[in-house]
Structure 1
């Protein structure tokens, strides 16, 4: 069972009061529906008809709601609060395929992307090696960086102004909404904190209306839209293009990386004792998403993915309960039956959206850094992280680098997240070359066991990238065991420390020539410390068995072995 962090009011498995549950669900659903602008942009760029655009958006809304329900529900998905939005990674693929072959071509390419994403979930063991904490940390950090660009453009009113002078009303509204969200999230408790984002949004929206920054269908235009109507779905047909195939496969891989990043962020937020990414849980999140993407593809819709902005909302409200996600998914599905509601929610002022995205971006950047620093960083890992982040920043800061590449590479290289994560994975695999998973060092009676153990384990911990707390807790236990064997004379000619590491355990074995020590099942009396060497060894052996996660005794040739296992 995970331990709930102090800043979380309702953790993943907690039950939330009905009124609070519905209110939080509405917050997440409202934010998710704002992002229907992405399929709208794709349709506009590709020149789709009004009818095809309506189908693209309606199908997207329905299946992103269903995906949210399935992903959040423990019986079907991950049991985490993962709210879906239209998948931004699909934008380049959608624009190109819709322009080249219409909805039929995008449907097939979207199906291929979903299948490539789904295929990764069957290799969870390999995923753990590909995504150690520092690689996950790079992905989460760059998720925040990728979110920062559209967030800041909306915050300062630069999204649609081109080279025009900045309108100071935009930052004024954004900062007002952001200050309200941050103040309530940090300094308040109870309902005010739970509804920090909703309150901040309301304040920003009201201020935007006052200064004249509201836009979109209002008055009669909004009233002309039906309040309730059956969703329009359609069969788009099927078309194929070999030229689009690499982009479709890579879009699926990028979407999987994006999903893993959001899952790891939620795992880290929900567990005060988080140690490593649970890739099985990530796979359980990805699979419902791919099924929903397939449903959207065959009904003419746009693909969806977990929302990084929703992670910021979860942090601000202190709620990671999966039940909130289920409620928000139901609300999103119902919204597809109300064109007027979708239109009303889609006209939230840009500076208010910018404030929410800035908050989410800031949280993701810090969460990614925390993931990176959760491990000891050797020179290899420092360069893995540094070069990967620089690669992502390069394509974000210098878009002309992407423009100079072939068209088929633009969907891959145009995303700082995909570039950084790809470089981090490649360097992580490259820098594994030459690293032994097992190392040893002799310790004699002339050595200080504590100093020898500290030097040895800290050096190996840096090379292996072991967790700092595991190395820190292992050092005194191993040093005590070595000192006991040497001082009592049980070890006749010194001790050899042999450490072995994998992503699950750190094993430190002490090899020595001499009599085997005993691990008594009952606690020895304090008087044993005044007895002979064997009695002292029994007492220390008992204490060691309680301080390590597991203690194993054995024999290797002529030497006795005492293995201390520490879960990683």
Structure 2
């Protein structure tokens, strides 16, 4: 079981009290349902009729809840608090497909995107080299950056072009909401911290109503029934648009990359000793998402994806329990039975939503940076991270550049998250050219073992991107092993230090021509130190076996080989 961080009250597999689970579930479900604005915008842009729009939204909500439930269950899902929201990456594909061929064409393209995701999930282990921590860190950082634009527009009440006459009442509501959420998350304990987001949102809504910036229900709101049986459609499936298939495949791949970033964020938040991304868990998360998307496509709805905003809420409340997410999924499904409830969610003040998104964006940005810096960075890796982030920021700062590119490329280029992650993946693979996974260095009795071990392992650690704490732990152990073999004469005159790295383990082998040593199973007595050199070597070897994760004795041709393994 992973060690729970001090700032987490209920970790993924813990069982909070039923009342806490219910209230936190309502909190997450409410936030998720606020993003129904995405499919509403897509339907409006494509000119769907009122009836088609209702089917579009209803299907999206139901399968968004089902996907959330599947994601959160330990099997077949990921067993993590992964709440689904409408997938913003599907916006360009949905608008183009609906306009060109109606719901049937979008259903077909959604299936293509889902199959692309599903195919990628089957190769997650093989893709470990493609998603090292610095690439995942770029994705997580850019998740936060991608939230900045919609968050700040809501904070300042900007709906179109920015003008000098900003209404500062929006900024006031957002500021008060954000201060309350942050204050409760940092300075409070117990129930106040658990419900920090809900409390902040409630106070913000009251303030917005008092200042006159809360939206008023339209005339049709009063006619909405409290309870009604949801209606699902069957739009048919059309694949007759070869021009849109590349865009659908790209959308599927981007959705999978987004899911990996969200899963890594949750893994790191939930494990104080986090080392590497569990890509098997990420694969299960993608598969659960694909099942929801397939159901949505068949019934004529809008696809969903994991919510990065929910990650920020989980951090604020100190709760990552999957049971909270499962309850959220059930509540989202039930929301489809209440048109009046959905109507209420559409009138939550925009600056309140902006404050919540700002909180989530801040957490994700810093979490991504921390993930990047968890590894030693060589020049190659520094440029991988720096150029990838700058590319994403260029898209965010100069969005007009995207309009100059071919239409098929715009879905990937217009998203800072997508373009940054793609550049990071490509540069990571390119910069791996010429790097050997094994390196060696000769050491003689004239050398200082600690200096040699420090210079050699730090250089290779930077080049390979090994974890800082693993290299720091390996240096004194390797130096002691080299000193023991040379000073006792077991390795006469010189030996070779050979390091190997494969993401799972960091191995350092000491190879020498001489007599083999044995490692005792129990601690040698102090009198053994008064014996010959081999007795001293056995004592030191015993100590090394306790400091490394594993010590293996063997041979390499005519030379003896002592391998120190450090789990990575």
Q: TM-score range by the shorter chain?
A: over 0.9
Instruction: Give the Cα–Cα distance (whole angstroms) in 2 for the partners of residues 161 and 409 of structure 1.
Output: 25
Residue 235 of structure 2 corresponds to residue 236 of structure 1: yes
- Deviating more after overlay: 309-318 vs 126-135: 126-135
Residue 340 of structure 2 corresponds to residue 346 of structure 1: no
Deviations along 1:410-433, whole A, 9 cap, x unmatched? 111111111001110000000001
The equivalent residue for 1:459 is 459
Residues 214 and 349 in structure 1, CA contact (< 8 A), matched pair in contact too: yes
Counterparts of residues 395-544 of structure 1 (less than 5 Å): 395-544=395-544
Deviations along 1:18-59, whole A, 9 cap, x unmatched? 000000000000000000000000000000000000011110
- Deviation of 1:126 after TM superposition, in Å, equals 2.6
Instruction: Give the Cα–Cα distance (whole angstroms) in 1 for the partners of residues 379 and 142 of structure 2.
Output: 21
Q: Secondary structure at the match of 1:15?
A: coil
Deviations along 1:263-305, whole A, 9 cap, x unmatched? 0000000000000001000001010110110100010100000
Deviations along 1:458-489, whole A, 9 cap, x unmatched? 00000000000000000011111000001111
The equivalent residue for 2:66 is 66
Instruction: Give the Cα–Cα distance (whole angstroms) in 2 for the partners of residues 275 and 515 of structure 1.
Output: 37
Residue 397 of structure 2 corresponds to residue 391 of structure 1: no
Residues 493 and 513 in structure 1, CA contact (< 8 A), matched pair in contact too: no
Residue 167 of structure 2 corresponds to residue 170 of structure 1: no
The equivalent residue for 1:325 is 325
Instruction: Give the Cα–Cα distance (whole angstroms) in 2 for the partners of residues 529 and 42 of structure 1.
Output: 78
Residues 493 and 512 in structure 1, CA contact (< 8 A), matched pair in contact too: no
Counterparts of residues 279-358 of structure 1 (less than 5 Å): 279-358=279-358
The equivalent residue for 1:99 is 99
The equivalent residue for 1:248 is 248
Runs of at least 5 residues in structure 1 that lack an aligned partner in the other structure: none
- Deviation of 1:527 after TM superposition, in Å, equals 2.3
The equivalent residue for 1:226 is 225
- Deviating more after overlay: 305-314 vs 208-217: 208-217
- Deviating more after overlay: 388-397 vs 192-201: 388-397
Q: Secondary structure at the match of 1:495?
A: strand
Residue 184 of structure 2 corresponds to residue 184 of structure 1: yes
The equivalent residue for 1:373 is 373
Instruction: Give the Cα–Cα distance (whole angstroms) in 2 for the partners of residues 297 and 216 of structure 1.
Output: 33
- Deviation of 1:162 after TM superposition, in Å, equals 5.2
Counterparts of residues 130-145 of structure 1 (less than 5 Å): 130-145=130-145
Q: Secondary structure at the match of 2:243?
A: helix
- Cα distance change of structure 1 residues 59 and 216 upon mapping to structure 2, 3 Å threshold: farther
Instruction: Give the Cα–Cα distance (whole angstroms) in 2 for the partners of residues 247 and 221 of structure 1.
Output: 37
Q: Secondary structure at the match of 1:536?
A: helix
Residue 211 of structure 2 corresponds to residue 211 of structure 1: yes
Residues 384 and 427 in structure 1, CA contact (< 8 A), matched pair in contact too: yes
Cα root mean square deviation, aligned: 1.0
- Cα distance change of structure 1 residues 105 and 166 upon mapping to structure 2, 3 Å threshold: same
- Deviation of 1:221 after TM superposition, in Å, equals 4.3
Residues 312 and 361 in structure 1, CA contact (< 8 A), matched pair in contact too: yes
The equivalent residue for 2:29 is 29
Q: Secondary structure at the match of 2:491?
A: coil
Instruction: Give the Cα–Cα distance (whole angstroms) in 2 for the partners of residues 160 and 233 of structure 1.
Output: 34
Deviations along 1:229-284, whole A, 9 cap, x unmatched? 01121001222211111100000000000000000000000000000001000001
Runs of at least 5 residues in structure 2 that lack an aligned partner in the other structure: none
Q: Secondary structure at the match of 1:13?
A: coil
Instruction: Give the Cα–Cα distance (whole angstroms) in 1 for the partners of residues 354 and 81 of structure 2.
Output: 22
Q: Secondary structure at the match of 2:560?
A: strand
Q: Secondary structure at the match of 1:126?
A: coil
- Deviating more after overlay: 480-489 vs 124-133: 124-133
- Deviation of 1:409 after TM superposition, in Å, equals 1.2
The equivalent residue for 1:42 is 42
Residues 150 and 159 in structure 1, CA contact (< 8 A), matched pair in contact too: no
- Deviation of 1:400 after TM superposition, in Å, equals 1.5
Instruction: Give the Cα–Cα distance (whole angstroms) in 2 for the partners of residues 13 and 95 of structure 1.
Output: 40
Instruction: Give the Cα–Cα distance (whole angstroms) in 2 for the partners of residues 279 and 159 of structure 1.
Output: 39
Q: Output the TM-score relative to the length of structure 1.
A: 0.99
Instruction: Give the Cα–Cα distance (whole angstroms) in 1 for the partners of residues 285 and 164 of structure 2.
Output: 43
- Deviation of 1:163 after TM superposition, in Å, equals 3.1
- Deviation of 1:125 after TM superposition, in Å, equals 2.3
- Cα distance change of structure 1 residues 233 and 216 upon mapping to structure 2, 3 Å threshold: farther
Instruction: Give the Cα–Cα distance (whole angstroms) in 2 for the partners of residues 4 and 327 of structure 1.
Output: 22
Deviations along 1:94-147, whole A, 9 cap, x unmatched? 011111111011000000000001100111123211110000000111111011
- Deviating more after overlay: 531-540 vs 172-181: 531-540
Instruction: Give the Cα–Cα distance (whole angstroms) in 2 for the partners of residues 244 and 316 of structure 1.
Output: 40
Residues 470 and 566 in structure 1, CA contact (< 8 A), matched pair in contact too: yes
Instruction: Give the Cα–Cα distance (whole angstroms) in 2 for the partners of residues 238 and 460 of structure 1.
Output: 53
Residue 10 of structure 2 corresponds to residue 13 of structure 1: no
Instruction: Give the Cα–Cα distance (whole angstroms) in 2 for the partners of residues 55 and 217 of structure 1.
Output: 22
Instruction: Give the Cα–Cα distance (whole angstroms) in 2 for the partners of residues 323 and 74 of structure 1.
Output: 10
